Every structure is written in C-alpha cells, then in structure tokens.
Amino acid sequence: MKRTKKERQRLLTETIENNPFVTDEQLASQFGVSVQTIRLDRMELAIPELRERIKDVAERNYENEVKSLPLDEVIGEIIDIELDKQAISIFDVKEEHVFQRNGIARGHHLFAQANSLAVAVINDELALTVKANVIFINPVKAGDRVITKAIVRGQHNEKNRTYIEVISTVNNETVFKGEFEMYRTKGSGDNNEISN
C-alpha cells in the first residue's frame, strides 16, 4: 500500500520515537522507499541522523550514571545501562577499523568496546581490568554494527572484584565473547557475592 508523504513522515516520526536506534536502511526497507527519501524526510522533520540520536539518548540518560569513566571514553555508544547489573553498547565498524588487506576489523576495537563497557557498568569511581579471557568467534567487517552486552555475573567483596560476561553480536550472530575480572575500590551492596 502506497502512503502519502505526510502519512509516511508521521509514521517515520513515530517509529524513530519508539526506536531511536533504527537505521535509515531499516526505515527505507520498512516504508518501501529509498534511503535518500528517508534522509530527505528526516531533514524536513528536523530529525537528526542516527549517530546524533544515539549520542543524545546517551547524554540524556547515562551521563550522570556512569561513574568509572567519562562517556566519551567508552568505545561505542552506550544505549542502555543498569549499574552493577548490565549494559549495552553499539559500535559501527568503519573503514579505519579494519585491515586494508582483507577488510576484517582489528581485534583491539572489539576488545576495547567490550572492556570499556565492563568498566562502565561498575558502580564505582575506579574500575580496572584485572584479567580477561576473550574469544573472537566470527570476523567483523566494515559496515557491521556490533551490539555488545555486559552482564555482571558476581562479586567478591572481600577482594573488591566484579565478574562480568560480555557478548558481542552482529545481526544476532555472536562474534566475540569475554569474561572480565574487574577491580573496584569498594565492594557492592548486592547479594550475588561469590565465596572462596
């Protein structure tokens, strides 16, 4: 069913309000129009591009929440965080993040996204990586969007340690997994403490 421009723009506005992280490509597919049409609609409606929307949501929602490092030091953009529980970030892989020879993302970018998210999720002024056990499962290429989730799996308050599992996916396919042991200056008040 072909929609009028007015109707499409109304639905476009609603869609972006409900999901500020939707891409122009996804919107074009959803509405059966070109990416260029979506961009023109956004410009007419004064809706910023995805990167600006993500930044805006992060600054409004998480700037005062994240204690362990400034938001601009997180690799990728935090889109959800619940301190000492879980966090999610997204990282768009660009040409400068990949090896020129094969177009595969350099591993340190994926590790940096995972590690900085593990730091950010800790409810403390200081959080440092003690140990990390990581596995690179599938290659990531330029143009991929990496969605990374960090989940706090336990605490050891006497040792000031927090244990975090991190999983990164591209199009719902796991590309990276990590287990991080983090040092924090104080123990958490949570009850999910690990005993010796």
Question: What per-residue confidence (pLDDT) applies to 133?
Answer: 97
C-alpha R_g of the chain: 19
Question: What are the pLDDT digits (tens) for 124-147?
Answer: 888 899 999 999 999 999 999 999
Question: What per-residue confidence (pLDDT) applies to 23?
Answer: 83
The percent of residues in the chain predicted with pLDDT above 70, rounded, is 85
pTM of the predicted structure, to 2 decimals: 0.67
DSSP state of 132: E
* Average of per-residue pLDDT across 158-177: 93
Mean pLDDT of the chain, nearest integer = 85
Is the predicted pLDDT of residue 195 greater than 50, yes or no?
A: no
Residues of the chain with CATH 3.10.129.10: 68-184
Cβ 79 vs Cβ 58: under 8 Å: yes
Question: What per-residue confidence (pLDDT) applies to 71?
Answer: 61
Fold (CATH) for 5-47: Arc Repressor Mutant, subunit A (1.10.10)
Q: How far is CA 43 from CA 36, 48, 111, in A?
A: 11, 7, 35
Is the predicted pLDDT of residue 7 greater than 60, yes or no?
A: yes
Is the predicted pLDDT of residue 61 greater than 80, yes or no?
A: no
CB neighbour burial string for 38-66, b if at least 16 within 10 angstroms, e if fewer? beebbeeeebeebeebbeebbeeebeeeb
Between CA 81 and CA 152, with CA 127 as vertex, the angle to 5 degrees is: 45
State the architecture of 68-184 in CATH terms: Roll (3.10)
Residues of the chain with CATH 1.10.10.10: 5-47
Which stretch of 50-64, 100-114, 138-152 has the lowest confidence by average pLDDT? Answer: 50-64
